[in-house]
Structure 1
Amino acid sequence: MGVNEGVTVDGTVAAGWEPVREEFAAAVAAEPHSPEAQLVVHHRGRRVVDLWAGEDTDGETLSGVYSITKGAAHLVVALLVQDGVLDWDRPVSAYWPEFTGDGKERLTLRQLISHQSGLINTDEGFDYDEIADDALIASRLARQKPFWEPGTAYGYHAFVIGALTGEVVRRATGRSVQEVYEERVRAPYGLDLYLGLPASEEGRWKPVLEMLPTPEQRAAQAASGPLPDLLAVAFNAHREPPMDLIVHANHPRTRELGPASAGGMGSARGIAGLYAAAIGAFDGRAPLLEADTVAEVARLHTPGPDAVTAEPDHFGLGFKQQPAAGPQAFGHSGAAGAQGFADPVTGVAYGYTRRRFGFPGGAAPENERLTAAVLEAARAV
């Protein structure tokens, strides 16, 4: 029995979705510390699950969602390709002439957005102010020697991919990816997922909370030893002192600038709404993405192991594969445990957040059980 056995789950579910509420309550109860979590699901454009739990979290709470941000930023890239402004198979250097040397000039946008550039960080890394500044990151990476020959391997560009793809957006449109996202996606749909938190929303923001692993988890972490070299570089842990992920998410510059790799602030409502708008009619509007675009961004582009994380078969175009949801689903996770995805087959759009940083990080394990409950309910209604 978890210490949260008596925690209250608030919110609503539509008829037929009660098993999702039960699974959410079980996941929260099993935690040794309150995860301060939210879960929202849309089904074919209708919100059918809207739940939250925790001592200091409600359905309106906004917090750092880490790499969920990549999904928002790369939805913008997909929209611009769909519009004909960008071309997946055009060299990045055609948009960004300074992106050259060491094989960078041959890299296409398709390869860049699927984490194949080798530019996972600079040799010296970034401090907290710098890693919140996408323009600064892009300018430094344009001069950086890649950690592998571009286009010959792939590996997670954890804190820089949004700066790289965002610079392509800026060169092609004259607008930052944050500005295009605000104008084309967030504002029209009223989404609580921000790339740059307005001052008017600061009152709803709550910090990401520290990881509190069990003694057994601490022992396992200690036994695993230091991070592998490329993993440390990609997560900005190769500098002294190593970057603290929680400090990054809670940093005022991160909230202000909304770096496109991992600096978004939002809620499960915002995440689920983003993916609902991507694949289906939402809020009286047509889907953002056409069926062919959805199929292309979801299609596996990186077979084999990730050179940074060692995960297999990792990426489509800017989005992660979603094996628990199905082969046509696409989305992204966030370091504290968040998860967002769309599945065009079932019409499900899923958003999950937790403010308590889960162990060991990445998509929290309860997402698999929650996803299974959601898909079962979707197929039954």
Structure 2
Amino acid sequence: MQSSIRQQYNKDFTQDKYQQLVADLNKAAQKPIEFRVAETPVFVPKSLKDKLMNTCESIIDVIVSEDFKAKTDGAIPKNQNVPNENNHTSFLAIDFAVCKNDEGDFVPQLIELQGFPSLFGFQYLLSETYQKHFSIPENYEFLFNGNDRKGYVEALRKLIVGNESIENVILLEIYPEIQKTRVDFDITEGLIGVKAVCLTKIIKEGRQLFYLNDGVKTQIKRIYNRLIFDDLTNFPDLKTDFNLTDDVDVEWIGHPNWFFRISKFTMPFFKNEFIPNCRFLNEYKGIFPENLSDFVLKPLFSFAGSGVIINVKKEDLTSIIDPENYILQEKVKYEPIIETIDGNKVKCEIRMLYIWQKDEPRPILLTNLARLSRGEMIGVRYNKDFDWVGASVCFMEK
């Protein structure tokens, strides 16, 4: 997005440097990474950075309001409500498309948000590896709020581990060894010592949970949760000692209920010039906008792009029997902005990553991630056969 920096980066780029970057990432992960890493980071000018941060703060103003929990109680499916919910989410991820306004300026447009952790470990490594193999301007950074790399790790450790012994804290997933994000689990263990444990390996005794830590039965006191209910539907015959909805003596870091509260369900509550118009489908009462081509339909309780209809027709809307579980969101036009070495341009999505320490009044911006795309949808699964696309990180002007 910064023309002079982009031109210099592309001039210095070589395929050999990129292959070395990927090789270093795979070496650190101990196994080949299963998603594509982009050939370039994203260089974000201060003008766009300020718009991103200010819009995020307006969103947080809504989330910290006294009535937020009451407004979002309907977001949690009754059969997926987990006991012992804490006062606020531990994580906040806010996704923006990078667009252009009528004046030709780069502007963000909110896509969605999650009260759920993202790739905090992998982004730490990815930014470091870009800096190792490519020249990144000194006045551009991937961290915020005065954090350096040591402070970044300490902030994560404070949030996830707290005052517990490291062996009493686990990262919870379902079959973590086969997840595409397992690289993040490995890096997280290297950074703060928390091991990934499969749901099927947890032992429940009364209200207490245990796992085998190198063969030693060890109590679980804190769970860094990376498991979502939606993933469990892929394993209908799964048998476990512990179900997420059990009332047990653990502290959730990333309580599962916040995954639902801060989600697509929350989108209609936000108003800002960089937030597209969004309403629950049932609010239309059968009278829909004439310009449906300017909207996208999203189910509330489906994730990773599943069930999203980009080219909406009236019959798509009238056929839905539970319109309260859908949102109709004004379509965002991604602007191809990042020039590649072949002269083409790719689209960019930026995720701002916050952590929220216990008893703090607001979450704090820690880092970011980016996704580059040539396809109609942004996710890495939709860009498998292209180059200069995939997972990336933003370096933002100080």
TM-score, length of structure 1 as denominator length:
0.31
Point out the structure with max Rg over C-alpha: 2
Q: Which has the higher helix share?
A: 1
TM-score, length of structure 2 as denominator length:
0.30
Q: Which has the higher strand share?
A: 2
